[in-house]
Structure formats: C-alpha cells, structure tokens
Structure 1
C-alpha cells in the first residue's frame, strides 16, 4: 500500500470527518509516521499488521524513553488510524482494538491564588503602549478561562459585551458561549476604543482582538513571554504559563461552589472527568468541607 496516499487520506478524514484542530492532526500524522517506520524496518505489510505486531511496536517505542502520557496518546491516535483503515480501506480487523491504554495518574495543575493574579495584573506597566492591551488580555484570560489559542484567535465580531458574553472557537472548531465579567469588559473596552484604533492594522488582521505593535495577530509565544516577564517582575516562584490562568479560573469557580457541569461547559471539556480534577486542588478547601459537613468532625 502507498503510505503517502494513506497519510493524505487520513489527514483529510481527520480534518473533514473528525473536525480536529491542526495541532491534533499533526500529532496523529506523526503517530502514523512511527508505525510506518516500524513496518518498513520489520518488513511488515500494513494490511497484515496484527495485534501481536502492535504489542511489539509498543515495546519498540518504549525503547525511545517515551513517557507514559505520550505512549497513551500514541495508542489512542493509532486506534483511530486503524478504525479509519477499516472504514476507508476495508481492513477486516483493528489490531489496536484489544490494546489497553495505560492508566495514568492525573497531574494536578498549578494554580494561582487571587492575590497572585492581582499582583501579576497590577505589575503591568500602563505607561507603555502595549500595557492596556496586556491588562485587557490577562483579565479576559483569567475572567473567561480561555486556552491561549482561543485568546489569540478571539475576534471582535464574536464579542457580545452588551449581553456580557463572548463566543469562542475551541478545539475541533467547536463553538461555545462564555460569560465575561465587568472587570474584563471594562479593560477590554478601553483597549478597543482608545488603544487599538491607534495601530496600523495589517490586512487580514482587522477582526482579531489582540494585536502586536505592528498591527498583526498576537502569537502564543508572545503571550507566554508577557506572563513570564510579569512573574519575574513580582518575584513569583511558581512556574506559570497562560494555561495557569485557565486552571486558576476553574479552581476558583469550583472552590466558590460553582456547579461542575457549568464549569465544564465554560472550559469546553468534552468529559466532566477532565473538569473533576479541579475538585482536588485546594486541600484547605476540601478540609473545610469535611469540617463543615461530616457528622464526625
């Protein structure tokens, strides 16, 4: 079989049938490349690939010191690949069907407390031209719990500030509506009305909310740098990233008593088990629940 054709067909399938993001598609195609190398090195025809071959393949990739998390993702990606081959190439069996994905201990993410978030935002130099943009950006990041990709792709046409909602395009181009608070609205309006109009906006970037000083869409890397610089400025010892603001958003909502299903919807999680991790973050909060509600406390 022609591997190039298979890769192209699988890529189209992931894009149009599964509606996956570009980053996810790249990861899936990289997984297919691993199985291709293994097949060619061991003279195995793809259409003859068996469950035993798949087990040997897992032993092979384990020799590259790939983490359990990466191995689990590879298994999941290749299960989808062989499902695709059954659908589109009439393969009789899925050799990955009986392979179990390793159980992983879920890592509890680092979060910032409210005082630390206030410190970071207060450290922004508003005398600089990009200061108000950064303030609005971090207020939206924390106030809405966005992924960094959702933040940099936020569009003016998707802001519905009069009803206090914004529309987000999340993973797999799935849209969701998220409430936006008064604090974020306040600084977003200042940025949009007083700062952004002064930029010379490059063609094709007119609808993006957050722009760099050259009038082009802000990048993920730039958001990381802005946050890292602020953390250094206030002497914060925690290792943080834009995603830390998302974790903090969710954690603070759950600690405040928010319904887990509502938090799931706002974060755009497909499974509530992903959201449940935020119930395990604050030990003091959990202790207070035991003290307050358990009859033996």
Structure 2
C-alpha cells in the first residue's frame, strides 16, 4: 500500500478513534507529509532506523528547532506503531531513534580555545609529558574513545614509518580507519622517538603505544587522570569526562560544516542516530 494512503488511514484513526483535535491532526499531517516525501516509493516495511535519523538530521539542517523535531519523531513513531498494531507491517524503525531531548545527557564539549589550552598546558620535556601530549592530540584529532586509544600498538601507528591514518578497534571489535592530522602525527612521532623508548626500558617490552611510568600498558583510568590533570593545569573549570575530547572533536567538526555521515564513520557509530545528537547541541554550548 502506498505510504500516502497509509498516512490518510492513520490520520482518520487518530481523529475518529483517538479524538485528536483538528490542530493536532493538522500537525500530524505536516510531519507525515514530510516523512512520506522522504520515503518516496519505498516500501513501508523496508524503512530503517538510520533513515528516520537521517530525516531528523535533515529537518535540523532545514532550520527546525528541537521541539519541532521532537514532535516530528513522536508523530512518525505513532504512525509506525499504528502500522504494526494493524498488522500492516512488522517493522517499527523508530524504536532505537533518540529524541533531541537526549542531548542534555551529553557531557559538554570544550571550546576550541580550551582544547588548545588543554593540549598546550602539557609539557613535553619528559618522556611522560611527550606521552601525554601525544595521547591528548590523538584523542582530539581522531575522536577515539579512551579505551580505543589505550589498546593501540606501535605497529598500529607506525608499521613501516609514520602514517597519516591509523586503525582503531571499537565496540564489537569493529575496525575503522581514521586520519591523524598533522598535530597528532607530529606529537606521536616525537613521543616514539624521544619518550617511549625510556618508558619501554622500564618494562617488559610491551607493544602498546602508550606506556605507563613503569613501562606497562597505560590503563584507561590513568588516561582519564592525564586528561583531568591537563585540564587543571590549563585552568579549565568545565566538567571533564573520559569522552570530553571525543565530544569536542565531533561537535567542532559538525559546527565547521562536516557531513554527519563522515563524522559517524570517524566516531565509529553504528547508527547515525547517535551522531545526530551532536547536531542538536544548543548554540551556546561552545561559548
């Protein structure tokens, strides 16, 4: 059955069976006409959660506010749940899609200036300092999770000379290739040449890229302590979390005009719905 006909069927149900007001039905119609236009001739049973998330992201790009997008998602969700209840389809693609209101749960991104302060406050006159600078540069440049950065090996970044990209292993052992950028690349190279050998000499020859003061692999907990110590040195009062630089990377890229799909791939999100959260951060988040 055509999507347009299903929309009319749903609207009649909401008006006659649920007693929704004329204004509410009109709002439903606007939301579903946009949704129907996005789907075109697609079969309603083939719609995916990623398509719903893409639609919401496009609404944001078109200038709709968070409340309007939240309402649109609610309408689309009600529509698809109705179709499932009526046995028209078994597929509800809206179940895993996040509401814009979920953005409030994200740790706040740092400003670009604060990220610079955070990194530059880390001295590079010791092996540990070189390590810390390399770690911070990598986290911000790649959007890597702390857990992904701490399991990197030397061969992951320099199998036969420094590379401009590295391979990260994320959730579910899924791998993705991400660009390093000049600052991160140079910081890692400096650490490998002037810092890591001294740390490695104290341990048992671990292949891990980031080593602790005793030459053992750097733990996630210690990586977070490095981040927090850098924030204290820089005088940053914002709340710091293990994902602070990851959130900052994503937010700055999107505010700079990066395509949401590119950022999704960079962060290793399985669904664009997760990346979509960053497009809904309030305008004063970075001020």
**TM-score, normalization: structure 2?**
0.60
CA–CA separation in structure 2 for the residues paired with 1:191 and 1:185: 10
Higher relative contact order by CA 8 Å / sep ≥ 6: 1 or 2?
Answer: 2
Superposition pairs of residues 119-130 of structure 1, within 5 angstroms: 119-130=117-128
Please say which of residues 226-235 and 260-269 is displaced more in the overlay: 226-235
1:156 corresponding residue in structure 2: 154
2:225 corresponding residue in structure 1: 225
Q: Deviations over 1:17-56 (max 9, x none)?
A: xxxxxxxxxxxxxxxxxxxxxxxxxxxxxxxxxxxxxxxx
Provide the alpha-carbon RMSD of the alignment: 2.4
1:275 corresponding residue in structure 2: 275
1:257 corresponding residue in structure 2: 257
Q: Is the 8 A contact 1:165 1:180 kept in 2?
A: yes
Q: Is the 8 A contact 1:212 1:218 kept in 2?
A: yes
Q: Is the 8 A contact 2:109 2:285 kept in 1?
A: no
How many residue pairs align between the two structures? 186
Q: Deviations over 1:169-196 (max 9, x none)?
A: 1111111111110110001001001211
> Which secondary structure does the structure 2 equivalent of 1:183 belong to?
helix
Q: 2:138 matched to 1:137?
A: no
Q: Deviations over 1:110-146 (max 9, x none)?
A: 1011100111111112233311110011000100000
User: Per-residue deviation at 1:232?
Assistant: 1.8
2:186 corresponding residue in structure 1: 186
CA–CA separation in structure 2 for the residues paired with 1:143 and 1:164: 11
Distance 1:162 1:122, change over 3 A: closer
Q: Is the 8 A contact 1:255 1:285 kept in 2?
A: no
CA–CA separation in structure 1 for the residues paired with 2:205 and 2:127: 22
> Which secondary structure does the structure 2 equivalent of 1:211 belong to?
coil
User: Per-residue deviation at 1:162?
Assistant: 4.7
CA–CA separation in structure 2 for the residues paired with 1:274 and 1:237: 27
2:166 corresponding residue in structure 1: 166
Q: Is the 8 A contact 1:108 1:280 kept in 2?
A: no
Q: Is the 8 A contact 2:107 2:239 kept in 1?
A: no
Distance 1:208 1:103, change over 3 A: closer
Q: Is the 8 A contact 1:145 1:266 kept in 2?
A: yes
Distance 1:110 1:215, change over 3 A: same
**TM-score, normalization: structure 1?**
0.58
